[in-house]
Each structure stands twice: as C-alpha cells, then as structure tokens.
Amino acid sequence: MGQDSRNARAAQPAAGDAGTVRVTLTVNGADHELLIDSRVTLLDALRDELALTGTKKGCDQGACGACTVLVDGRRVLSCLTLAAQCDRRQVATIEGLSSDGRLHPLQEAFLRHDGFQCGYCTPGQIMSAVALLHEGRTGSDDEIREFMSGNICRCGAYPNIVAAIREVARQGAR
C-alpha cells in the first residue's frame, strides 16, 4: 500500500472530539492503540504515552537529531513528525534494537569505541547509524560523516562514532 493510501486512512478523529484522534502505533513490533490530540508529535507519544524514554528531546526543532527514530526503516526526526502520521506504520526506537538480551552490533561498537560521552545524543546517533548501514552509505569516513551530519554530539565524540560505524560496516552487520 502506498504512503498516500496509508495517510488517507490514518488517524481517524475520535467520536465527539475533532481535536482527538485514535492511532495505532506499531513500535518495536508491538501495537499500541492511542487516543491522542492530533497535534502530538511522535516524540511526545513515545515518551509520554508509551514511556519509551530512550528517544531524547533535544532541541525540539529538528536541528540536533537526538530524537531520531526509524519509521518504516527510514530515519525521521520524531520531534517534527506527528504521531498521527505514523498510524499503522512500523516505528523502531533504541529500546527495540537489542534482541534476545544481546545489544545490536552498533550498540556494542559504540561501547568499544567510546562513541558517547554524556550519552544524550547516543540513541539518535545509533538509530541514524542503523539507517545509514541499511542505506549503504558507509563507503568512506567522509561519507559516514556527511550522512550522520544531522546528528549533533555536543561532547565531540565524532571520531569515535565514525570508528564504531566503520567497524560495523566492515563486519557487514545491520
């Protein structure tokens, strides 16, 4: 089904309240039916409605990348995305990366390469890096830096972040 068809049926107004919509968010493989204000961002729905606080609220203006999540496998800034736009779409957050008690290869590489300092940007950095690997944009350090440029690290751990991504790309992990 195309995106236009998805959006056409997305987020139906709740009975009696034009400002409230009923949405089904599929987050990390689990469906969550929510009754929310139509103006609620995906970031606020994840944090406030679903208690998934791994996704960080940084600038709340789409400039820092701390709120990066994947929607249908593509990275999005959840502070600029309405939750209603994600009705019946696949949303992946940092909480959903590990499997069977094992960290995702990127999470392990970030630990090995000290790809974080304060850690605030780390979830957004990792989610963006997961998409970067799937997009095949890891041919060089310059390419990695360019396609990770939407994610700001105020501590300056950039060389370590690039090293972690490069390691996982060389291993062929996604």
Do 164 and 113 reside in the same domain of the chain?
A: yes
Do 111 and 86 reside in the same domain of the chain?
A: no
Average confidence score pLDDT of the chain: 92
**Residues 63-75: pLDDT tens digits?**
999 999 999 999 9
- Give the CATH number for residue 73: 3.10.20.30
The position carrying tokens 């095949």 is 136
Q: How far apart are CA 36 and CA 59, in angstroms?
A: 23
Do 84 and 135 reside in the same domain of the chain?
A: no
Do 136 and 85 reside in the same domain of the chain?
A: no
Residue 115: which H helix or E strand, with range? none
Q: Give the pLDDT mean for 123-128.
A: 98
Q: How far apart are CA 86 and CA 55, in angstroms?
A: 16
Do 13 and 69 reside in the same domain of the chain?
A: yes
- Nearest one of 97, 64, 88, 106 to 8, comparing CA atoms: 88
Do 122 and 162 reside in the same domain of the chain?
A: yes
Q: Decide which of 75, 96, 117 is a domain's last residue.
A: 96
Do 118 and 37 reside in the same domain of the chain?
A: no
Query: How many domains does the structure of the chain reveal?
Result: 2
Q: How confident is the model at residue 11 (pLDDT cuts 50, 70, 90)?
A: low
- Give the CATH number for residue 162: 1.10.150.120
Do 91 and 111 reside in the same domain of the chain?
A: no
Domain that holds residue 115: 105-171
Do 49 and 113 reside in the same domain of the chain?
A: no
